[in-house]
Structure 1
Amino acid sequence: MHPLKPALLSLAVAATSHAALAEEAPSTLFTEGKPILDARYRYEHVDQDNNLRHANAQTLRTRVGFQSGKWYGLSGLVEVDNVSRLGDAAYNSSRNGQTDYAMVVDPDGTEVNQALLRYDQAFGSAVLGRQRINLDNQRFVGGVAWRQNEQTYDAALGQLKPLDGLTLTYAYLDNINTIFGPDNGRFDNRTNPANIEGHSHLFNAQYQVMPALTVTAYGYLLGLDNIAVTAASPLGSLSSATRGLRLNGALGGFSYALEYARQQDYADNPQDLDSEYYLAELGYVLKGVQLKGGYEVLGGDSGPGNRAFQTPLATKHLFQGWADQFLTTPADGIEDAYLGFTAPLAGGSLQAWYHDFASERGGDRYGDEIDLSYTRPIPGVKGLVGMLKYAHYDSADRTRTLDTEKFWAQLQYSY
């Protein structure tokens, strides 16, 4: 062998190693990091057919933080939120004592929204700390990002991807920072604590067989110690074990979702739970317009108290209408038949939805709802998006629900 070849090989290896070390220098945590800056102004109007005064809430949610770069797969994130009222407190935030007004759940306060360490490698990731968790379509576990104070989780979460298309997720929850926080006070009750305490386990296995079929099996074991299904119910009555199967996919212009779940009591729940969930949904894209219709059922129960199928950790605003009339499933359950579309319009996006609600037990009508929204980036200001949104719920049984009208105007800037 030529004497220069070993020397050249050594130099090449050394150069490669040096480059690798340079790429993995601890300074990349800062030099490749990026600041987080987000501001969201919202005006919300609520008009209900009762003795409460109309709510008019102006709030500003400001978020600042830092997302680090990666060093040998390690990274970190810190994010702080502040929610501030602008103008008069002409609404009930659940904490401000304005109980003669309709509810707008956006309490004032400052809180660490996320603070976590993350490790990524080829076959998965792990996250430890206060974090955002959104599983599947957020029907059972989500961040409730619609409200000004996002729901986050003090948790340890791990994901494994041992095969192409297969994702296995497990999370242990120690504390849930709810939308009602950051603080409790003399106006809260057992249905809206700032923090939900307890020990919960989330299992989710998702396998994309092909574009036309994704199969997801899940088990959500929720030990929720200091919250109740209603203000008169015992603490722990939302602790539950929900196990289910979801099939969804797309083929051509069509999309679909089919889902079934069963919910039973768990941990120290003093109530005997046994209810079911069903979903059938079909969509079609026609010349850029996304059409979708579906039928969703959350089962009721004939026993004492409210033992219906509940979704306490869900992003509930995404489901059963934007007027938020069914954040707690009624004791007789609920059937929701819905139809709507999303369409591009004048550089933005227009949505329109119709819902028809009935009880799952007995088939009594609750009412119907029309939802409209338009979202558009604001020209000339990068990162600024405007939104107008409207919901009108018409009650068919005023002993159970109330006529409700809501309107939102929002501006959000993200850096």
Structure 2
Amino acid sequence: MPRPAVRSILPFLVVLPLAAGHALAAGTGTPILDLRYRHESVDQAGFARNAHADTLRVRAGYATSAWHGWSVLAEADGVLGLGDGRYNDTRNGQRQYPVIADRPGAEINQALLRRALGKHSATFGRQRINLGNQRFVGGVGWRQNEQTYDGARLQLAPLDALAIDYSYVDGINTVFGPDDSAASSRANPSDIEGHSHLLQVGWKLAPALAASAYHHELKLDGIAVGATAPYGTLDSRTTGLRLEGAQGAWSYAAEYARQRDLDSNPWTLDSRYRLAELGWKVRGVALKAGVESLGGGDGPGNRAFQTPLATKHLFQGWADVFLTTPAQGIDDAYLGATVPLAGGSLQAWYHEFSPERGGGRYGDEVDLSYAHPVPGLKGVAGLVKLARYRSDDPSRTVDTDKLWLQLQYTY
């Protein structure tokens, strides 16, 4: 019996070869090849041993050229574990080490059929969905096994200043896959079934003002907000509005959202999301400061504002201490800079974390990275990156240091 996420894509795999044959007749298409080697190490309080992972992600596929507006893309990922694998990949049971969620294995990353007609398009099958800045829905591209979605997506542009984006999702292939084991928990399944609806409408209201309104209904089967929480506790409906723009060297963003439960959720949810951000850029140097708040919830258990489908590594620090919002919520005050340096890009960020409710502090974090193309090797780029989190309350969070060394080739 195929796994749930495989079952949901089987009809598209049957159609793809026929559609690809027609599309190939119109042109040569584009091969896809991406190789990413990464060393990751984690030093986390509470563990006697540090985690060390060396992995190679191999991504290969093919995107056909369009034939009467139809095109096909098929892509597979394989993650290879190199060395002795001294880390907890959430499946191998090596709990004496901190988690590095890069499980060796292979699966279909994308397999889709797309119909494009002018500024409109419809996409069917397994696909990448990155909405806006990926704060609520994204592909978690930082992990070696990307998160992709099974379903249908409709993108319309009825006016130059108006864009409508709707997706129906019945399967999610998470970063923890491609399979489960006895070490899996209800908080980290490899695949999630359900019936989710993602609607986003964007308006360009003025040269310096764009608005994005969204409503997401997440029906996520087989997953819970925590390893001991009831199933269905991530079933939610989130409605929000984001305003953003730029004027000269200045940019800004402001956002507000409310999250409530669906009928299928055994818990009552009602929490808020708030964001205020200001940026400044001159001569290639970009500075940004902001405050992001994910509200806590009322009642027993963790009923805080959650973003289970987000690319969370982009937010609240690279140490990934707050992948699940604590029950008391979280306020993140941050300041960062991106600076061109010696042909590469240097980033530096500072975060201060505190509960949204109840007072006190969680801790603070410093993040640094430097990315640079490798001279003489076309398509190859290197990255050095580190995160240093220091806890002010060891009963709630722990000191965490992470280091990454990465080489990536993109064809």
TM-score of Structure 1 vs Structure 2, range by shorter chain: over 0.9
User: How far does the alpha carbon of each residue in 1:77-107 deviate from its partner, in whole angstroms, 9 at most, with x for none?
Assistant: 0000000100001000001111111100000
Is residue 287 of structure 1 aligned with residue 254 of structure 2? Answer: no
Is residue 355 of structure 1 aligned with residue 351 of structure 2? Answer: yes
Aligned match of 2:228? 232
Is residue 183 of structure 1 aligned with residue 183 of structure 2? Answer: no
Alpha-carbon contact 1:77-1:116 (below 8 Å) kept = yes
Alpha-carbon contact 2:294-2:329 (below 8 Å) kept = yes
Aligned match of 1:156? 152
Aligned match of 1:19? none
Is residue 409 of structure 1 aligned with residue 400 of structure 2? Answer: no
| Whole-angstrom distance in 2 between the partners of 1:385 and 1:27 | 32
Q: Shift of the alpha carbon at 1:29?
A: 4.9
Alpha-carbon contact 1:29-1:75 (below 8 Å) kept = no
Q: Which blocks of at least 5 consecutive residues in structure 1 are unaligned? A: 1-24
| Whole-angstrom distance in 2 between the partners of 1:119 and 1:27 | 11
Aligned match of 1:10? none
Q: 1:345 to 1:262 in 2, by over 3 A?
A: same
Match of 1:147 among 143, 156, 168: 143
| Whole-angstrom distance in 1 between the partners of 2:327 and 2:290 | 22
The AA in structure 2 aligned to 1:91 is Y
Is residue 381 of structure 1 aligned with residue 380 of structure 2? Answer: no
Q: SS at 1:88's partner residue?
A: strand
Q: Shift of the alpha carbon at 1:52?
A: 4.3
The AA in structure 2 aligned to 1:231 is A
Match of 1:257 among 236, 253, 257: 253
Q: SS at 2:313's partner residue?
A: helix
Is residue 330 of structure 1 aligned with residue 326 of structure 2? Answer: yes
Alpha-carbon contact 1:372-1:389 (below 8 Å) kept = yes
Q: SS at 1:89's partner residue?
A: strand
Q: SS at 1:323's partner residue?
A: coil
Aligned match of 1:368? 364
Match of 1:57 among 53, 56, 62: 53
User: How far does the alpha carbon of each residue in 1:350-404 deviate from its partner, in whole angstroms, 9 at most, with x for none?
Assistant: 0000000000002210000000000011010110000000000000000000000
Alpha-carbon contact 1:223-1:267 (below 8 Å) kept = no
Is residue 73 of structure 1 aligned with residue 69 of structure 2? Answer: yes
Aligned match of 1:110? 106
Q: SS at 2:377's partner residue?
A: coil
Q: What's the C-alpha RMSD, in Å, of the aligned pairs?
A: 1.1
The AA in structure 2 aligned to 1:88 is D
Q: Shift of the alpha carbon at 1:286?
A: 2.2
| Whole-angstrom distance in 1 between the partners of 2:342 and 2:26 | 40
Q: SS at 1:196's partner residue?
A: strand
Aligned match of 1:21? none
Q: 1:221 to 1:27 in 2, by over 3 A?
A: closer
The AA in structure 1 aligned to 2:409 is Y
Alpha-carbon contact 2:23-2:66 (below 8 Å) kept = no
TM-score normalised by the chain length of structure 1: 0.93
User: How far does the alpha carbon of each residue in 1:223-243 deviate from its partner, in whole angstroms, 9 at most, with x for none?
Assistant: 011100011100010010000
Is residue 46 of structure 1 aligned with residue 42 of structure 2? Answer: yes
| Whole-angstrom distance in 2 between the partners of 1:354 and 1:211 | 31
Aligned match of 1:297? 293
Aligned match of 1:8? none
| Whole-angstrom distance in 2 between the partners of 1:205 and 1:354 | 32
| Whole-angstrom distance in 1 between the partners of 2:23 and 2:264 | 48
Alpha-carbon contact 1:29-1:68 (below 8 Å) kept = no
Alpha-carbon contact 1:52-1:102 (below 8 Å) kept = no
Q: Shift of the alpha carbon at 1:302?
A: 3.2
The AA in structure 2 aligned to 1:406 is K
Runs of 4+ off more than 2 Å: 25-32
TM-score normalised by the chain length of structure 2: 0.94
| Whole-angstrom distance in 2 between the partners of 1:52 and 1:217 | 47
| Whole-angstrom distance in 2 between the partners of 1:266 and 1:310 | 14
The AA in structure 2 aligned to 1:96 is N
Is residue 398 of structure 1 aligned with residue 391 of structure 2? Answer: no
Q: 1:27 to 1:224 in 2, by over 3 A?
A: closer
Q: Which blocks of at least 5 consecutive residues in structure 2 are unaligned? A: 1-20
Aligned residues: 391
The AA in structure 2 aligned to 1:287 is R
Is residue 206 of structure 1 aligned with residue 206 of structure 2? Answer: no
Q: SS at 2:293's partner residue?
A: strand
Seq. identity, %: 60
Alpha-carbon contact 2:89-2:103 (below 8 Å) kept = yes
Alpha-carbon contact 1:371-1:391 (below 8 Å) kept = yes
The AA in structure 2 aligned to 1:97 is G
Q: SS at 1:86's partner residue?
A: strand
Alpha-carbon contact 2:23-2:64 (below 8 Å) kept = no
Aligned match of 2:215? 219
Q: SS at 1:317's partner residue?
A: helix
Q: Shift of the alpha carbon at 1:26?
A: 4.3
The AA in structure 1 aligned to 2:300 is P
Is residue 243 of structure 1 aligned with residue 239 of structure 2? Answer: yes
Q: 1:27 to 1:111 in 2, by over 3 A?
A: closer
Alpha-carbon contact 2:250-2:279 (below 8 Å) kept = yes
The AA in structure 2 aligned to 1:48 is Q
| Whole-angstrom distance in 1 between the partners of 2:25 and 2:299 | 56
